[in-house]
Structure 1
Amino acid sequence: MKTLVIAAHPNMEGSLVNKTWMNRLREEEDVTVHELYAAYPDGKIDMEREQELLLAHDRIVFQFPLYWYSSPALLKEWQDVVLTYGWAYGAEGTKLNGKEFMLAISTGGPEEAYQAGGYNNYSLSELLKPFQATANLTGMRYLPVFKVQGVRMLNEAQVKESAEALAAQIKAQF
């Protein structure tokens, strides 16, 4: 199974967790890591190139830190530009049907902050519903989310351990 990891972090070099994940995934055979902010520093996304990448892979992974309860801006722009009517959804938009879709998320806040009565008052699952709806609309199968929360409190060994766990989940059969 060929996997495309779309890594989106506006400051990848400054991110211990997302950079470690991305570098670890680059070691995997049949995994293509596509770093959005490096590919499009001007924010102008090449729709045809991105659609070709999607077509060439069986599993699509969005890897990002949770920003304001969603993805970083360039990943949202990517969705708006690439997942077009008639290509990704709509009566004739079947290009992603049958592919698998997964999220790899990091949060600065701890798990207990993401629940009813917690600091953010909503569970991570609730906040990620738009991504699940995207998978449903485009005919992709939504896989279990890989999440590491409270990343500001992790030591280097824990970050490396999380990268190994992410690589294992990406390679797993569901």
Structure 2
Amino acid sequence: MQTLVLVAHPHLADSTTQQFFKASLPSTGVTYRALTAQETYDAAREQAALRQADRIIFQFPLYWYAAPASLAQWEAAVLTRTFVYGDHRYPLADKELGVVVTTGMPAQAFRRGGTENVTIDALMAPLAALAHRAHMTWLPTLAVHQFNYLDEAQKLQLVVDYQRYLTQPAPDTLANRQAWFADRLPAMVAQLAPADRATGELIVTTMTQQQDDLEALMATLAMIKEQDDD
């Protein structure tokens, strides 16, 4: 799977959150692209990049309940009516569209009755509508609240969550999570210090066993369901 990450931020170099995300990118399968308000976009080139991607991610901080202007500028230049749906060919059909959004407010602020009195899903509705119009699959939004208040353990968890969001097949089922970890854990273990490698290898073995047990359980449940249907 090929993922295209489009980052909109007016002060990208000064953003500790965005620099953290950039440093956390997987080593393969992801193309990172920063959008700037001063850029003049080559629509054909941008559209070609979209055609080549399987998953497209818009990444930005929430500014007055919307994305920064550079994303809107990019959309106006690239997502023309003819390209998105006008010729009824839908070149983005069946691709996935997701959003990584950062906020300076706590998660509980984004709910009915909260400080913001609006949900993140409601704020992302225009982008969800775009996905629907283009016949794309809309992914659940990855919202990161108050990054600078996260401790080290929470930041480590965010690295994993972010990489899964970019590369793990949808939907976010237990089986897909286990397959994703099983695919990447050996490489992670190989990078550990020799003193920690035995523990890492034990984790890989345990995860593999759990995956085998899950597959056996799912097969058993399928057989039981077939008997119930009879």
Which digits, 9 at most, give the CA deviation of each residue in 1:80-112, with x for residues without a partner?
111111111234351111111111111111111
Structure 2 match to 1:81: 77
Structure 1 match to 2:4: 4
The whole-number CA distance in structure 1 between the counterparts of 2:70 and 2:79 is 14
Structure 2 match to 1:51: 47
The whole-number CA distance in structure 2 between the counterparts of 1:36 and 1:151 is 21
Moved over 4 A (4+): none
Structure 2 unmatched ranges of 5 or more: 171-230
- Scaled by the length of structure 1, the TM-score of the pair is 0.90
- Scaled by the length of structure 2, the TM-score of the pair is 0.69
Matched, 1:115 2:111: yes
Which digits, 9 at most, give the CA deviation of each residue in 1:51-93, with x for residues without a partner?
1110111110011111111111000111111111111123435
The answer as to whether partners of 1:20 and 1:159 remain within 8 angstroms in 2 is: no
Calculate the aligned-residue CA RMSD, in Å. Answer: 1.6
Structure 1 match to 2:181: none
**Higher-helix-fraction structure:** 2
Shift of 1:20: 1.0
Higher RCO, Cα 8 Å, sep 6+: 1
Q: What amino acid maps onto 2:166 in structure 1? A: I
**Which of 1 and 2 has greater Rg?**
2
Shift of 1:14: 1.3
Identify the range of structure 1 (132-141 vs 45-54) with the bigger mean alpha-carbon deviation. 45-54
The whole-number CA distance in structure 2 between the counterparts of 1:117 and 1:167 is 32
The answer as to whether partners of 2:29 and 2:167 remain within 8 angstroms in 1 is: no
Structure 1 unmatched ranges of 5 or more: none
Instruction: State the aligned residue count.
Output: 170
Where 2:90 maps in the other structure, the secondary structure is coil
Question: Which of 132, 135, 140 does residue 139 from structure 1 map onto?
Answer: 135
Question: Which of 113, 120, 127 does residue 123 from structure 2 map onto?
Answer: 127
